[in-house]
Structure 1
């Protein structure tokens, strides 16, 4: 009979990893060479949370304030962000242009409706005087 090899699961702790190993992984993740999950898989780290803890302890990212320190974006990342921003602005511009077009058409239609109503009913709908002046004019007419 062949002997069966039994692979035994060995639980590791963070103390099992050397400081240089931890720093190497942190640098690779911060440079964008690996994601947290990829680093855990590549270096056979049991949990991605371990890598995240190393990033919190030894990385350049300020996890308390959620701000970047000395972690500049690569030109490719910046270009991708700007492309996404341009696409968003183009969509917003198209939407605003459509809304302006509709508003202009509505204004033209309302203007035409007022013109038709003025002709049909022979009344002056568009008044050049303010509401306060029209009240004063009505009082003057009533006095005469």
Structure 2
């Protein structure tokens, strides 16, 4: 259970489960091989209606009743849009990092020249 839980702890606060774990437990329940109580005992899920709320939240059942819906809500990644946006973001970050490195290099040169502060490591020492 620890691999499937974000904040597993024995505190009075509510435990937060990952989406993958919720889907896994819901699918086991919907196959009919496990009861709600058996899954709660097996995975240590607290709360009487936690599993039913997951079923509603993830789209396995409707809000009004236990009528099974056609397909659960699953987030579909938009690869082409995200990839080009991600590349642009990385290029901007690279330019910023190069500028920052140039500024640090210039600051070190000024400090060593004007204030006689040794900042760079002397590579000749043993």
For normalisation by structure 1, the TM-score amounts to 0.37
Q: Which structure has greater helix proportion?
A: 1
Larger radius of gyration: 1
Instruction: Give TM-score scaled by structure 2 length.
Output: 0.42
